[in-house]
């Protein structure tokens, strides 16, 4: 944006002005070069050497001026052509003064050079009139006195001989300088206006950029306010739902606590379901109060500590509930795959939060399946990382939506989806030092991976089952299937040669009888004791404590995650083998002389909870 384009006024911008300077120096310098060769025509004159020397000097000076002109920066040497022309004017004036009084061959060029000096000067008319004009007139006036000493007697002859020079000097210089001054003033004015407008243009651009940034910030604030408002409403709804859930939950708790031990797996599922509903209700209350007061970013519950949890147990417990939940849909299969080397994987998480996240991922996978299909939950480890993958063969997710899927309010393939499930999952897993990764292909299926840092197993956990070779393995359980399963495990290749006697005890009385009859063999025995027995108030922990066999015993139970069980085992130093992992626990056959089962520090077990 310019006030006036230089080309519209015929003015010379800096690049053209530099060219004019070079043209002036180059043209006159070339003329001096030609004059050097023509100087030899005047060898007969007395001042030939001066003529040759001054013309060679003029050529050399032209080269110097051209170098300075070419490498000039900014306004340096802006009148270098004027200086060169003044020197040329003095050289030509000296030639005019030395030639004969009746000749004007050399002197006639002084008028032309004088005119070029007047045109080349880049300054005000006053500066030219007071400085350049007196300096330029001197080489013109001095030769006149040499050529016309009797000009007082012959004024007419003087005017006739030098009329061309006088006319050129008088008319050309004045007109040229007046026009040059106007040109210079107008050019400076235009340049100043253009610089002013350029500053205004930059100021406007800066204001526009600031305005755009303010607009973007306002848009972010507006979206944040809308999001906070939505979460505020959801928080109040969550709190109300939690209070509504607690009444039927009390009845469910009563049924779960009075269930007969003979109910077996159903009783365990009922207790797990009641416990998880209680956790969800408590978290809804916490979430409701936090969201409505402080925003969703702090909605992850703080009253539940992050503790060391067995990942496989959390998954198995939840999958029992999910299979029961989707049992009416025979077209959906929910499978659990534990990869090799995945026994005893622990991580620092909140159990209720972990189940909630995994439950939402399984629900999303089921909803993504059209017709029949499978949801596979796969547990594996890679170096110091635990991988929990939820794999479905549903409709998949488009590449355009996939990067935004974990943003609040973004959902896909769900009619009533709020877009908060994956957002909550990513934030929750991230708070444990992990990450959530989503991979999908449209029309093929989706894999959602929870990547969690691996933690050291707690002291109460049995990492390896040591059994004595040539000793006794006492299995105390009221379920015949458990006895058959243990026999199958001890017959596997890793247990050969076993050379140990397996004794099946179907109840507490049978175990007590064996211990009393074989008191001397207890040190060579490994006791695998269930926690609860049918129609018996005495638990496996009570039995181990009363028989004083804690050092040789392992509690095999599905209720290993209950605080009371861990507290009791920790006090006695009994290691626990979760019942779901009986098929995966490594078994080591120890020589009789090396077999030395020991207890652990129960205080450490209590600290992990």
**pLDDT of 37 strictly over 90:** no
Lowest mean pLDDT among 123-127, 308-312, 443-447: 123-127
Query: Rounded mean pLDDT of 84-99?
Result: 83
Highest mean pLDDT among 181-195, 235-249, 364-378: 364-378
For 445, left (φ over 0), alpha (ψ -120 to 50), or beta?
left
| Residue 220 is assigned to a structural domain of this protein | no
| Residue 150 is assigned to a structural domain of this protein | yes
Q: How confident is the model at residue 271 (pLDDT cuts 50, 70, 90)?
A: low
Query: Rounded mean pLDDT of 351-360?
Result: 89
Asked if 356 and 489 sit in the same domain, the reply is no
Close Cβ partners of 249 (under 8 Å, ≥ 6 residues apart)? 274, 277, 278, 281
Q: Check residue 352 and give its pLDDT.
A: 86
Q: Check residue 378 and give its pLDDT.
A: 93
String of DSSP letters for 376-390:
EEEEEEETTEEEEEE
Asked if 60 and 128 sit in the same domain, the reply is yes
Overall number of domains in the chain: 3
Q: Check residue 266 and give its pLDDT.
A: 61
Q: How confident is the model at residue 24 (pLDDT cuts 50, 70, 90)?
A: confident
**pLDDT of 202 strictly over 80:** yes
State CA 137 to chain mean position distance. Answer: 75
**Residue in the structure block whose two tokens are 């020589």:** 591
Domain C-terminal end among 424, 453, 482: 453
Lowest mean pLDDT among 141-155, 189-203, 209-223, 317-331: 141-155
Asked if 471 and 449 sit in the same domain, the reply is no
Q: Check residue 151 and give its pLDDT.
A: 44
**Mean pLDDT for the chain overall:** 76
Q: Using CA of residue 295, residue 299, residue 302, residue 303, what is the dihedral sign?
A: positive
Query: Rounded mean pLDDT of 296-315?
Result: 66
State CA 189 to chain mean position distance. Answer: 51
**pLDDT of 8 strictly over 60:** no
Q: Check residue 275 and give its pLDDT.
A: 61
Q: Check residue 451 and give its pLDDT.
A: 93
Q: How confident is the model at residue 291 (pLDDT cuts 50, 70, 90)?
A: very low
Asked if 442 and 346 sit in the same domain, the reply is yes
CA-closest candidate to residue 9, choices 171, 178, 174, 188 = 188
SS3 of 205-216: the string is HHHHHHHHHHHH
- Of 262 and 283, the structure prediction assigns the larger pLDDT to 283
Q: Check residue 602 and give its pLDDT.
A: 42
Asked if 494 and 588 sit in the same domain, the reply is yes
**pLDDT of 552 strictly over 50:** yes
Query: Rounded mean pLDDT of 343-354?
Result: 88
Query: Rounded mean pLDDT of 422-428?
Result: 83
Query: Rounded mean pLDDT of 257-262?
Result: 50
- Of 201 and 179, the structure prediction assigns the larger pLDDT to 201
**pLDDT of 468 strictly over 70:** yes
Angle separating helix axes 80-98 and 14-38, nearest 10 degrees = 20
**pLDDT of 299 strictly over 70:** no
The backbone torsions φ and ψ at residue 108, rounded to the nearest 5 degrees and listed phi first, read -65, -25
Domain C-terminal end among 134, 161, 188: 161
Asked if 445 and 587 sit in the same domain, the reply is no
C-alpha torsion 295→297→302→308, nearest 10: 160
| Residue 491 is assigned to a structural domain of this protein | yes
Bridge-based pairing of strands 445-453 and 385-392 is antiparallel
Q: How confident is the model at residue 121 (pLDDT cuts 50, 70, 90)?
A: confident
**Nearest-angstrom CA–CA distance, 452 and 387:** 7
| Residue 190 is assigned to a structural domain of this protein | no
**Nearest-angstrom CA–CA distance, 112 and 133:** 14
Number of helices followed by number of strands (H, E) in the chain = 19, 14
Query: Rounded mean pLDDT of 379-402?
Result: 87
Percentage, residues of the chain above pLDDT 90: 10
**pLDDT of 297 strictly over 60:** no
Residue 134 has what DSSP assignment?
H
CATH number at residue 528: 3.40.50.2300
**pLDDT of 5 strictly over 70:** no
- Of 541 and 138, the structure prediction assigns the larger pLDDT to 541
| Residue 589 is assigned to a structural domain of this protein | yes
**pLDDT of 3 strictly over 50:** no
**pLDDT of 412 strictly over 60:** no
**Beta-bridge partner residues of 477:** none
- Tokens coding 143: 């030769």
Hey, how many other C-beta atoms are within 10 angstroms of the C-beta on 295?
Answer: 15
Asked if 401 and 525 sit in the same domain, the reply is no
Lowest mean pLDDT among 129-133, 232-236, 239-243, 369-373: 239-243
- Of 605 and 424, the structure prediction assigns the larger pLDDT to 424
Q: Using CA of residue 42, residue 45, residue 51, residue 53, what is the dihedral sign?
A: positive
Q: Using CA of residue 279, residue 280, residue 285, residue 291, what is the dihedral sign?
A: positive
CATH number at residue 412: 3.30.565.10
CA-closest candidate to residue 331, choices 288, 276, 369 = 369
Asked if 518 and 590 sit in the same domain, the reply is yes
- Of 503 and 534, the structure prediction assigns the larger pLDDT to 503
Lowest mean pLDDT among 55-59, 183-187, 289-293: 289-293
- Of 110 and 266, the structure prediction assigns the larger pLDDT to 110
- Of 350 and 293, the structure prediction assigns the larger pLDDT to 350
Asked if 442 and 557 sit in the same domain, the reply is no
Host domain of residue 402: 332-453
Asked if 10 and 102 sit in the same domain, the reply is yes
- Of 455 and 158, the structure prediction assigns the larger pLDDT to 455
**Nearest-angstrom CA–CA distance, 340 and 343:** 8
Asked if 385 and 471 sit in the same domain, the reply is no
| Residue 197 is assigned to a structural domain of this protein | no
Asked if 397 and 528 sit in the same domain, the reply is no
Lowest mean pLDDT among 29-33, 235-239, 244-248, 426-430: 244-248
**pLDDT of 197 strictly over 50:** yes
CA-closest candidate to residue 85, choices 31, 46, 49 = 31
| Residue 203 is assigned to a structural domain of this protein | no
Domain C-terminal end among 116, 139, 161: 161
Query: Rounded mean pLDDT of 145-170?
Result: 52
Q: Check residue 389 and give its pLDDT.
A: 94
Residue 295 has what DSSP assignment?
-
> Are 528 and 466 contacting, i.e. CB atoms less than 8 angstroms apart?
no
| Residue 271 is assigned to a structural domain of this protein | no
Q: Does the model's pTM come out above 0.75?
A: no
Query: Rounded mean pLDDT of 93-99?
Result: 79
**Nearest-angstrom CA–CA distance, 488 and 484:** 6
**Nearest-angstrom CA–CA distance, 532 and 539:** 5
Q: Check residue 154 and give its pLDDT.
A: 46
């Amino acid at each position: 944006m310019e006030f006036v384009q230089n080309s519209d006024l015929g003015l010379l911008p800096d690049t053209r002005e530099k060219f004019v300077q070079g043209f002036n120096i180059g043209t006159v310098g070339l003329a001096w070069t030609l004059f050097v060769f023509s100087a030899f025509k005047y060898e007969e004159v007395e001042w030939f050497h001066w003529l040759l020397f001054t013309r060679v000097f003029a050529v050399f000076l032209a080269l110097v001026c051209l170098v300075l002109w070419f490498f000039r920066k900014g306004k340096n040497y802006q009148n270098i052509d004027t200086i060169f022309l003044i020197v040329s004017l003095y050289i030509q004036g000296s030639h005019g003064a030395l030639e004969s009084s009746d000749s004007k061959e050399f002197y006639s060029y002084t008028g032309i050079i004088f005119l070029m000096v007047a045109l080349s000067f880049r300054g005000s008319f006053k500066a030219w009139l007071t400085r350049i004009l007196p300096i330029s007139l001197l080489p013109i006036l001095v030769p006149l006195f040499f050529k016309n000493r009797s000009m007082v007697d012959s004024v007419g002859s003087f005017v006739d001989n030098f009329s061309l020079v006088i006319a050129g000097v008088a008319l050309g210089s004045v007109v040229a300088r007046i026009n040059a001054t106007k040109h210079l003033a107008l050019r400076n004015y235009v340049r100043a206006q253009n610089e002013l407008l350029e500053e205004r243009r930059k100021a406007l651009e800066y204001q526009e950029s600031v305005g755009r940034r303010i607009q973007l910030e306002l848009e972010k604030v507006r979206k944040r306010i809308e999001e906070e408002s939505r979460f505020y409403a959801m928080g109040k709804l969550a709190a109300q739902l939690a209070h509504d859930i607690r009444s039927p939950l009390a009845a469910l708790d009563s049924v779960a606590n009075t269930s007969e031990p003979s109910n077996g797996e159903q009783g365990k599922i009922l207790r797990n379901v009641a416990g998880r509903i209680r956790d969800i209700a408590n978290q809804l209350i916490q979430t409701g109060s936090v969201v409505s007061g402080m925003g969703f970013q702090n909605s992850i519950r703080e009253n539940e500590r992050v503790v060391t949890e067995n990942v496989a147990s959390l998954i198995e417990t939840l999958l029992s509930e999910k299979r029961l939940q989707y049992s009416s849909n025979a077209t959906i299969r929910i499978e659990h795959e534990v990869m090799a080397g995945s026994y005893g994987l622990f991580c620092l998480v909140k159990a209720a939060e972990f189940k909630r996240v995994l439950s939402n991922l399984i629900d999303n996978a089921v909803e993504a399946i059209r017709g029949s299909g499978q949801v596979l939950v796969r547990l594996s480890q890679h170096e110091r990382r635990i991988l929990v993958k939820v794999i479905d063969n549903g409709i998949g997710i488009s590449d355009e939506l996939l990067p935004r899927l974990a943003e609040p309010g973004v959902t896909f393939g769900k009619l009533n989806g709020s877009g908060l499930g994956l957002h909550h999952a990513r934030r929750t897993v991230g708070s444990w030092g992990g990450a959530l990764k989503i991979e999908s292909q449209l029309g093929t299926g989706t894999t959602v991976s929870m990547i969690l840092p691996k933690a050291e197993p707690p002291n109460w956990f049995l990492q390896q089952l040591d059994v004595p070779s040539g000793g006794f393995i006492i299995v105390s359980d009221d379920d015949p299937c458990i006895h058959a399963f243990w026999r199958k495990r001890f017959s596997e290749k890793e247990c050969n040669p076993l050379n140990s006697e397996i004794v099946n005890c179907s109840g507490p009385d049978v175990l007590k009888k064996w211990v009393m009859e074989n008191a001397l063999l207890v040190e060579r025995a490994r006791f695998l004791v269930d926690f609860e027995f049918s129609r018996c108030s005495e638990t496996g922990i009570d039995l181990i404590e009363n028989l004083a066999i804690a050092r040789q015993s392992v509690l095999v139970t599905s209720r290993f995650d209950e605080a009371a069980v861990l507290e009791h085992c920790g006090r006695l130093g009994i290691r626990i083998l979760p019942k779901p992992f009986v098929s995966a626990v490594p078994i080591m056959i120890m020589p009789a002389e090396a077999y030395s089962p020991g207890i652990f520090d129960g205080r450490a077990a209590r600290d992990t909870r």
